[in-house]
Structure 1
Amino acid sequence: MSRSARSRPAVLAALVLATATLSGCGLSIPTDPSGTLAAVEGGTLRAGVTPNGDFVEVSGDTPRGIEVDAIRAFADSLDAEVEWTVGSEEALVRELENGGLDLIAGGLTDQTPWTDKAGVTRPYAEATAKDGSTLKLVMLAPLGENAFLSRLETFLSERSTAGAL
């Protein structure tokens, strides 16, 4: 019997033990290392928005638009209030990286340059650009906060399927 054939049962036993140990610890996947989803649920969703046509319009203190409505509905689904921050994409991404925001919206597309600085949702809707091209819309979340990102993607997908966005 080869050495690798003899070690297979040991490797399998180690994997089973590790799985059982992690399951017993209450580990869930996906997870949020910084606890974004847990902090937002029943609390405050800190949303950054940048003005961009019908997606996000800002006049006065309260933003409005298609994506603003979606963010409000997402917050409602988490029993959370929304705290708005308006700014440029760059300023908002910096704030997201520093832990001051939970998501960013503003007509962002799957071609966003911020993929190394933020978690990007799967495209949840399409829009037509002035040149006739198709834009695939996304939102940004804190990098690595996968439970939050997953919940946001699921919400946006269900909302899009229902024709609400």
Structure 2
Amino acid sequence: MSRWRRLWSVPLLVLTLCVAGCAITVPSDPQGTLDRARGGELRAGASASGELVTVDGSDVGGSLAGIVEEFADSIDAKVVWTVGSEEDLVDGLEGGDLDLAIGGMTDATPWSQSVGVTRGYAGVPGARGPVVVLLPMGENAWQAAIEAYLDREVTR
């Protein structure tokens, strides 16, 4: 083996491995939430919270619910609402029955140990502080898509 080849073989191998490792950082969804919701159903949980989330029987409204509906439109999805307590909604996220959950949850939510949590958004009408959306844990492409939408539409 020539001296040049020996001298550069190790640095080239290290550089190749580093470049190959960069591709692994692309957000992915182990459960495929974004791909499943896009063009299909967005399974959203709602817990009543003032004007952020209103519940009248099975009808869900309010400023935060409207934002979820608009996000669903942006990915060509139809929202299917489930109404429940925060604990019920977290159980639904953990069990794979819900794609997201909304209510009066803030960036100080105790649920962050159990589920994914978006950044806090204070610009939601009716919010008294930074409001978050709860998501299935580890669905990174899903979270990135929702946060990108919220970053465009709601002030932080």
TM-score grouping bracket, smaller chain normalisation: 0.7 to 0.9
**Matched residues, percent identical?**
45
Displacement of 1:20 after TM fit? 4.0
Larger helix share, 1 or 2: 2
> 1:50, 1:86 within 8 Å by CA — same for their partners in 2?
yes
Which residue is 1:148 aligned to?
A: 142
Structure 1 residues 11 and 122: CA distance shift in structure 2, 3 A = farther
TM-score (norm: length of structure 2): 0.84
Larger strand share, 1 or 2: 1
Structure 2: runs of 5 or more not aligned: 1-5
> 1:125, 1:136 within 8 Å by CA — same for their partners in 2?
yes
TM-score (norm: length of structure 1): 0.80
Displacement of 1:62 after TM fit? 1.1
- CA RMSD after TM alignment: 2.8
> 2:52, 2:125 within 8 Å by CA — same for their partners in 1?
no
**Deviations, residues 129-162 of structure 1 (Å, cap 9, x unaligned):** 9xxxx5211111110001000110111111114x
Structure 1 residues 108 and 14: CA distance shift in structure 2, 3 A = same
2:110 match: secondary structure: coil
- Identify the match of residue 90 of structure 2 among 74, 84, 93: 93
Displacement of 1:125 after TM fit? 2.0
Look up the equivalent residue of 2:46 and give its one-letter code: V
Structure 1: runs of 5 or more not aligned: 1-5
When the two structures are aligned, how many residues end up with a matched partner?
150
